[in-house]
Chains A and B, each alone.
Chain A
Amino acid sequence: MLRLVSKRILGAASREVPAPALQVLPRFYHERVVDHYDNPRNVGSFDKNDPTVGTGLVGAPACGDVMKLQIRVDEKTGKIVDACFKTFGCGSAIASSSVATEWVKGKQMEEVLSIKNTEIAKHLSLPPVKLHCSMLAEDAIKAAVKDYEAKRAKSTSTEATSEEKAATA
C-alpha cells in the first residue's frame, strides 16, 4: 500500500516537471536531402517502349510535384537491375525519388512494393509538411511496377496469339 502511494507521489512529482520549452523545430533541410539535391543519383530516362522498362508517372503540376520513376527489370529473374527518375518538385521531392531509385535497385519486384513512404521520410528526416513527397515516391514505385506488369501481360498475350498462329500455320 505504501509502495503504491510512494509510486503515485513520485509519478505525480515527475509529471509536474515542466516539459523543456517545446522548441518549434526550425524548418531545415536534413543533410541527406541537401546531398541528394546537390549530387542526384540516377537522374535520367530509359526508353519508354522498351519491354523491360516500367514507367511510373505520378503527381500533378497543380500540386507542385510530378515524379517519373522508371525501372528496368530482368525478365527471367524478376529482379530490378536499374532505375532512374525525373522530378518536378521541391528539394524533398527530389530527394525522396532519388532515394526510391537507390532502394529499388537490385531488389525483386514484389519486394519493392513493400517500401513504405514512412521509411523514406525517416531516412531523410522529412518534416510533417513534406510527408506527401515521400507518399508520392511510394506511389511512383508502385506505378512503375504496375506499368511493367501490364506491359508484360500484354506482350505474353500477343506472344500466345502469335504462337498459335505459328502452330496452326
Chain B
Amino acid sequence: MTSKLIASGLRQQLTKFAHQFRRQHLSTAAAAATAAAEPQHHEDSTGITMKGVKISGRPLYLDVQATSPVDPRVLDAMLPYNMSRFGNPHSRTHMYGWESDLAVENARAQVASLIGASPKEIVFTSGATESNNISVKGVMHFYKDKKRHVITTQTEHKCVLDSCRHLQQEGFDVTYLPVGSDGIIDLEKLRSAIRPDTGLVSVMAVNNEIGVVQPVEEIGKICKEFNVPFHTDAAQALGKIPVDVEKWNVSLMSLSGHKIYGPKGVGALYLRRRPRIRVEPQMNGGGQERGIRSGTVPTPLVVGMGAACELAMKEMDYDHKRISALQERLLNGIREKLEGVVVNGSMERRYTGNLNLSFAYVEGESLLMGLKEVAVSSGSACTSASLEPSYVLRALGVDEDMAHTSIRFGIGRFTTEAEIDRAVELTVHQVQKLREMSPLYEMVKEGVNIKDIQWAQH
C-alpha cells in the first residue's frame, strides 16, 4: 500500500519535471527566446510598451557613440557572402574559399587605405575590445623580459583599463596619466612618465564619453623620440577625423566596425611593419591572420567593415560639415532656453558628433526617464550598476553633483534636423520640469550657496 503511495507520489513529481522540461523545449527556439526574453513587451496601435515605459513610436536615435545603424550600402555588400558566396576564406582547395579570400583581401585593402597603411599591416579581430586586448597584453607579454612599464590615461575605454589592471596583477607597472579639466593630457607629464623600461604608451584618439580629441601627433613624436611603441584606440576616430598612421607615428591601432555604420562583431588591429612590432597572440589556433589572431575570418562581417571604411573615406568631409552644423543647432537651441548648461570636455579639440552636456540641479537618470522618446546616454551614477558617477567625468574633475547630471548626445550620418529640433524641445521641457522639482534649484534661486551646506549623508 505504502509502496503504491510512493509510486504515485514519484509519478506526480516526475510528470512535473517533464512538464517543466517540455516547457523549456518549446516548438521553436525563437518562440522560447521571445517567451523568456521580453515578458513585458507588447506593441499595439497606440505605441510600444517596454520595461514599464510607454512611448508612441520608436525613439529618436542620438546615441551614435554606443553603436551606429548599418549603412544600407554596407548591408548590400555583405549579403552575397551569407547565402551564395559563403565559403571559408581559408579553404585553399576550391572556388568557394578562393572567392571568399579575395573578398577578405579586398576589405583589408579598403580598411588600410582609410588609415594610410599597407594591407599587410591589418589584422581582423572581433572588435576594438579584442584589438585593445591584443595590443596591451600581447605587446607587454612579448617584451616582458626587458619592458615592465605601461603608460595610459585615466579616461581610456574600460577594456584598456581592465587589461592594464590585469597586467598590474601580473607584476607590471602602470602609470595612469591624469587629464586636465578639458579632457586633454599634459604632454609634459607624459614625457616625464616615460622610463627606460616603458613598453607601451596607450592613449585613445577620440574619447567615447566626452568626444575630446587627444593630441596624437605630438604624442607620436614624443614616443618616437624615446623609441616607445604607441598604441591608440581609434574606434571612435575612424572615419570621423582624418587618421594617418604615418603622421601619428602609431605602432598599433584598434579599429571597430560598428562605430562607422558597419556590422557589429568585427574590428581590426593595425600592426606596424617598419619597425616591426611583435605581439603575443591572445587567440591560439590554426595561425590565421599571420598567427596574430587564429580563427576563421568572418567574411560577411569583414566585407561589411571594408565597405563601411570605403564609404567613410568618400563621405567624411560631407558628414563632418553636416554634423558640425547639427551640433551647433543642438547646442544653441538648448542654450537659448536654458541656463546652467555646461559642456564637458574641450570645445575646441572635440569631435563634433559627440556632445556631453551637464544640466545643473537636475539628475541624469530622472532626465533620461523623461527623455524616453530620445535615445541618449548618461554618465550618471544611477545608470551604472554602482552609485559611482562615470570615471571619465570624475577624471575631468567635474564636481560630483554635476557628474550626476550629464547627458551624452551623439549625432551621426543619419541624424536629421527635425530630430535635433525635437530633441531640443523635449530636453528643454524636461529640464525645466525637473528644475521645478529640485530643492537645489530652489536654494540657488533663494541665494543660498549650495557648496556651503553641510549635508547629512547616510
List CB contacts (< 8 Å) of B403-458 with chain A: 404, 436-442, 450, 455-458
Known contacts A9-B10, A63-B387, A90 near B2 by CB under 8 Å: no
A53 within 8 A of B: no
Q: How far is the CA of A25 from the CA of B92 in the complex (A)?
A: 48
Which residues of chain B come closer than 8 Å to A30, judged between CB atoms? 52
In B44-76, the 8 Å CB interface with A consists of: 50-54
Contact with B along A38-72 (1 / 0, CB 8 A): 00100101000000000001111111111110000
The count of chain B contact residues (Cβ–Cβ below 8 Å) is: 47
Given A61-B450, A88-B439, are A10 and B9 neighbors across the interface (CB < 8 Å)? Answer: yes
Contact A17/B53 with A62-B400, A87-B437, A88-B362 known, Cβ cut-off 8 Å: no
Contacts of B24 in A (CB 8 A): 21
B196 to chain A, nearest CB (A): 42
What is the bound-complex CA distance between A93 and B158, given in angstroms? 29
Residue pair A28, B40 in contact (C-beta under 8 Å): yes
| Chain B, interface SS category | helix
Residues of B within 8 A of A61 (CB): 400-401, 404, 440, 450, 455
A94 touches B401 (CB 8 A): no
Interface set, chain A 1-35, CB cutoff 8 A to B: 2-3, 5-6, 9-10, 13-14, 16-18, 20-21, 23, 26-31, 33-34
Give the distance in Å from the alpha carbon of A48 to the alpha carbon of B404 in the complex.
Answer: 28
Residue in B17, B36, B370, B458 whose beta carbon sits within 8 Å of that of A37 in the complex: B370
Q: Is the CB of B2 within 8 A of A3?
A: yes
Q: Considering the complex, which residues of chain B in the window 15-58 have a beta carbon less than 8 Å from any beta carbon of chain A?
A: 16-17, 20, 24, 36, 40, 50-54
The answer to whether B438 touches A86, judged by C-beta atoms less than 8 angstroms apart, is yes
Residue of B nearest to A9 (CB): B6
Question: Would you call A26 and B51 a contact (CB within 8 A)?
Answer: yes
Could you tell me the distance in whole angstroms from the C-beta of A23 to the nearest C-beta in chain B?
7
Q: A10-B13, A88-B363, A91-B366 are in contact. Are A64 and B389 (CB under 8 A)?
A: yes
Residues of B near A23 (CB, < 8 A) are 36
A9-B10, A34-B369 known; A57-B439 Cβ under 8 A: yes
Question: Which residues of the partner chain B approach A113 to less than 8 Å between Cβ atoms?
Answer: none
A62 near B438 with CB under 8 A, answer no
Q: Which chain A residues lie closer than 8 Å to B363 at the CB level?
A: 64-65, 88-90, 93
Closest to B50 in A: A28
B135 at the interface (CB under 8 A from A): no
* Distance between Cα atoms of A67 and B366 in the complex (Å): 14
By Cβ-Cβ distance, the 10 closest A-B pairs, closest first, are A61-B401, A28-B51, A60-B455, A90-B365, A68-B439, A86-B439, A62-B400, A91-B369, A90-B382, A64-B404
* Further 6 A-B residue pairs, CB within 8 A, beyond A63-B387, A86-B439: A17-B17, A34-B54, A57-B456, A64-B401, A68-B442, A86-B438
